[in-house]
Structure 1
Amino acid sequence: MFVWEGSAAVCVNDHRQLLMVLQGTPEEPKRWSVPSGGKKPGETLQECCVREVWEETGFVVRIRREMWVKRMKSNDAQITVHYFETEIIGGHLRLHDPDGLIHEVAWISPEALEHLELSFPEDRDPLLSVLRSRRSP
């Protein structure tokens, strides 16, 4: 069985909006996700998270804490994704995606998140829970 491990960034701004990316190959429908991707050899999960955010959005983030871990099986693969709470500490909106899979970056409100086509629909409820638990400015 193939084992895949990666990281995902949960980054919320002062307006209770979530940093998300519109992703997909040229052939497939584009769907929304938090910045995420697979861990490279020799890289920690935290380093993976920081790299993926920079590649997909142009922002530099700091890890605050690990929030949850999602484990699932898909065909012959065991998939584990570690979700980290992050905060932006630098950079600016600019795609560096070496895979060419990111088409847009946006700050998404809880109301919009309820209706978006997501790459990983199982992420909707935990992400909405994070957004709803934040206080407004």
Structure 2
Amino acid sequence: MEIVPAASAVIVDDQGRVLLVLRGHEPQKGRWSVPGGSAEPGETLEETAAREAFEETGVRVRIGRELWTVTLPTADGRLYEVHDFAATVIDGTLTPGDDAADARWVTAAELDELPLTAGLKDYFIGAGIIPPGPGD
């Protein structure tokens, strides 16, 4: 089974909002997630997270510590091994791009109103990005 290395950036601003993108392509098209994608040959996972954040949101980020790793199966039998990193904006203007249909800052309360990718809110809670709510 082929394992595809991938990385994402979990970008949080000074107000505690998380930067999410609306996935424009499969997997999970039409769901909100953190910007990320497959690593290119010779690229570190940190470089992948920063590049994908810029391509999908128009903002440049500083990559911090790794928060979690997720393994996601694909319909064609491959496995994406996605490493999610904490990140902070260093410059740029928020503009959805690449395979993101939209991009926006989201509060913890707004997460319950959006169709998120599978398990995303639980990962945010587990990493301390957002506090657990009454039903969590």
> How much has 1:70 moved relative to structure 2?
1.1
What's the TM-score once normalised by structure 1's chain length?
0.83
Amino acid at match of 1:12: V
Counterpart for residue 71 of structure 1:
71
**Preserved CA contact (<8 Å) 2:58 2:93:** yes
Q: Percent identity?
A: 35
Runs of 5+ consecutive residues of structure 1 not aligned to the other structure: none
TM-score (ref. length: structure 2): 0.84
What's the CA shift for 1:38? 0.5
Aligned partner of 1:131 in structure 2 is 130
Task: Report the Cα distance in structure 1 between the residues aligned to 2:31 and 2:97, rounded to whole angstroms.
Answer: 19
Q: Which 4+ runs in 1 deviate beyond 4 A?
A: none
> What secondary structure is seen at the aligned counterpart in 1 of 2:131?
helix
Q: Distance in 2 between matches of 1:48 and 1:91?
A: 17
2:103 corresponds to: 105
Correspondence list, 1:25-36, <5 A? 25=25, 30-36=30-36
Name the CA distance, whole Å, in 1 between partners of 2:88 and 2:129.
Answer: 14
State the Cα RMSD in Å. Answer: 2.0
Aligned runs of 1:1-137 on 2, under 5 Å?
1-25=1-25, 30-75=30-75, 76-97=77-98, 101-118=99-116, 120-128=117-125, 129-132=128-131
**Unaligned segments of structure 2, at least 5 residues:** none
Instruction: Figure out how many residues of one structure are paired with residues of the other and give that number.
Output: 128
Q: Secondary structure at the match of 1:126?
A: helix
